[in-house]
Every structure is written in structure tokens, then in C-alpha cells.
């Protein structure tokens, strides 16, 4: 186990060098991240910067640090852990969704330039998983939201926490990460209910109909 703080450029480079000192690296899994939810009107600049620093800029730092190694070897895989929330949205997660949509766009674009060097980019998109995303790794808006949002926010929080309690084991995501790292396959890998079904519906349904279906979940 190596110490690695993705928000600290020096820590990223030190961990890379320590890892490479033991031998070649075949795959890098970017899994650092945390959830942020709450009314956007109550989000502070620090809230927004913090979650982008970990979920997006940290992932970019680690990716950039290992590209030269993979390029020199002519092989390697980046497994970027995004979320079904990188291609669809739920209420009160606007800033978190912004980070995951950024990861999706960054990773999809990156694969065009890295493919020529034998480097693969895979995006794992977990659904609702029983992890500390709903507990220790969950942050909320730093400022107090206006009372006008109280009823809506309370209802959304209840639905979200109930869904989190019924989520699948993190083992399904771990298995998907291993598959992504080890072999060929699709660039995007939705895993864990309801990610595959919801992402398929988002693709097939008219936008207005899909958005109405999401709204019904929170009534």
C-alpha cells in the first residue's frame, strides 16, 4: 500500500515513482472521490473547489503522471471510476454530477490520443452501491439553504438514503474494474443496479419523458 493524496501533486509523483521502483505498472485505477449534495444556492466556492479537486483534478493528475510510463511500454490501461451520474442526473447533486460528467468527457476524449500508443481508457459507471458514499464520504453544502427548499430537500434526502441502503455490494464494481483492467471490451462499463437499465432508458427515451420519470421517483 502506498500513500497517495490525489489533491497533492508532489504526493502523486512520489507514489508513482515508488510504484515504478518495484516494476512496470499495467493498470491505473482512478477511484478517489466523494459525494457532494445539497441545494446549489447553498454551495460555497470551497464546496465546489473541493469536490472538483478530488473527483476531477486529482484523477487528471494521476492519469497524466502515468501516461509516459504506458507510452514508453506501448501498453497500459486507465480505469476511470465515474458513475451512472456521469451521464444522467438526480436532484440536489448538481455539483457532484458536474464532476462526473467532466470525468466522462475527459476520459472519452483522452482515449483518442492514447490509443495510438497501445493505451486503453475504460470508464466504470457504478449505480447505487452500498459504500461510504452515503456516509463517511458524503459532503453537504457548506451554507444553510433558504427554508423555501426544506420540503423538497427533505424528500430527496429520504429517497436517496433509502436507495443507498438497498444498493448492491461493492464487490460487483470491484469485479468490473478487474475486467476493465485485464481485457478488451467496451470503453464504458455500467455496473450495479440500476445503472445499466437507467442508462439504456436515458439513451432510448425522449428527453422529456425520461426527466418526468426521474421526477416521479422523488414524489
Q: Is residue 19 part of a domain?
A: no
Domain count, the chain: 1
According to DSSP, the residues that pair with 183 across neighbouring strands are: none
Q: Is residue 7 part of a domain?
A: no
Q: For residues 36 and 185, give the distance between their C-alpha atoms in angstroms, rounded to a whole number.
A: 31
SS3 category, 120? strand
Q: Is residue 6 part of a domain?
A: no
Q: Which helix (H) or strand (E) holds 164?
A: helix 150-165
**pLDDT tens per residue, range 96-142:** 999 999 999 999 999 999 999 999 999 999 999 987 766 666 788 87
Q: Is residue 111 part of a domain?
A: yes
Q: Is 218 a catalytic residue?
A: no
- Lowest-confidence segment of 5-14, 105-114, 155-164 by average pLDDT: 155-164
SS3 category, 168? strand
Q: Is residue 13 part of a domain?
A: no
Q: What is the DSSP letter of 129?
A: B
Q: Is residue 112 part of a domain?
A: yes
What is the domain range of residue 152? 24-217
Torsion of CA 67, 69, 75, 81, to 10 degrees: -40
Q: Is residue 12 part of a domain?
A: no
Catalytic one of 34, 96, 149, 218: 96
Confidence (pTM): 0.92
Q: Which helix (H) or strand (E) holds 70?
A: helix 59-73
Q: What is the pLDDT, as a whole number, of residue 218?
A: 86
Mean pLDDT to the nearest integer, 89-94: 95
Q: Check which CATH number belongs to the domain holding 31 and give it.
A: 3.40.50.720
- The pLDDT confidence band at residue 160, using thresholds 50, 70 and 90, is confident
Cell numbers describing residue 209: 419523458
- Lowest-confidence segment of 28-32, 162-166, 201-205 by average pLDDT: 162-166
Amino acid at each position: 500500500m502506498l500513500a497517495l493524496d490525489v489533491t497533492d501533486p508532489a504526493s502523486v509523483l512520489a507514489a508513482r515513482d515508488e510504484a515504478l521502483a518495484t516494476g512496470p505498472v499495467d493498470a491505473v485505477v482512478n477511484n478517489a472521490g466523494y459525494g457532494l449534495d445539497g441545494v446549489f444556492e447553498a454551495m460555497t466556492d470551497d464546496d465546489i473547489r473541493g469536490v472538483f479537486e478530488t473527483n476531477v483534478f486529482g484523477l487528471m493528475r494521476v492519469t497524466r503522471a502515468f501516461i509516459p510510463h504506458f507510452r514508453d511500454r506501448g501498453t497500459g490501461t486507465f480505469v476511470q471510476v465515474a458513475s451512472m451520474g456521469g451521464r444522467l442526473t438526480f436532484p440536489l447533486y448538481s455539483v457532484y454530477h458536474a464532476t462526473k460528467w467532466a470525468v466522462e468527457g475527459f476520459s472519452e476524449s483522452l482515449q483518442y490520443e492514447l490509443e495510438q500508443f497501445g493505451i486503453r481508457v475504460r470508464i466504470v459507471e457504478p449505480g447505487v452501491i452500498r459504500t461510504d458514499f452515503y456516509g463517511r464520504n458524503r459532503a453537504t453544502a457548506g451554507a444553510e439553504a433558504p427554508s423555501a427548499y426544506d420540503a423538497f430537500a427533505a424528500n430527496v434526502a429520504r429517497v436517496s438514503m433509502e436507495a443507498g441502503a438497498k444498493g448492491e455490494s461493492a464487490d460487483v464494481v470491484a469485479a468490473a474494474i478487474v475486467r476493465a483492467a485485464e481485457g478488451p471490451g467496451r470503453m464504458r462499463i455500467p455496473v450495479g443496479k440500476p445503472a445499466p437499465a437507467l442508462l439504456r432508458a436515458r439513451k432510448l427515451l425522449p428527453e422529456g419523458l425520461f426527466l418526468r420519470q426521474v421526477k416521479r421517483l422523488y414524489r
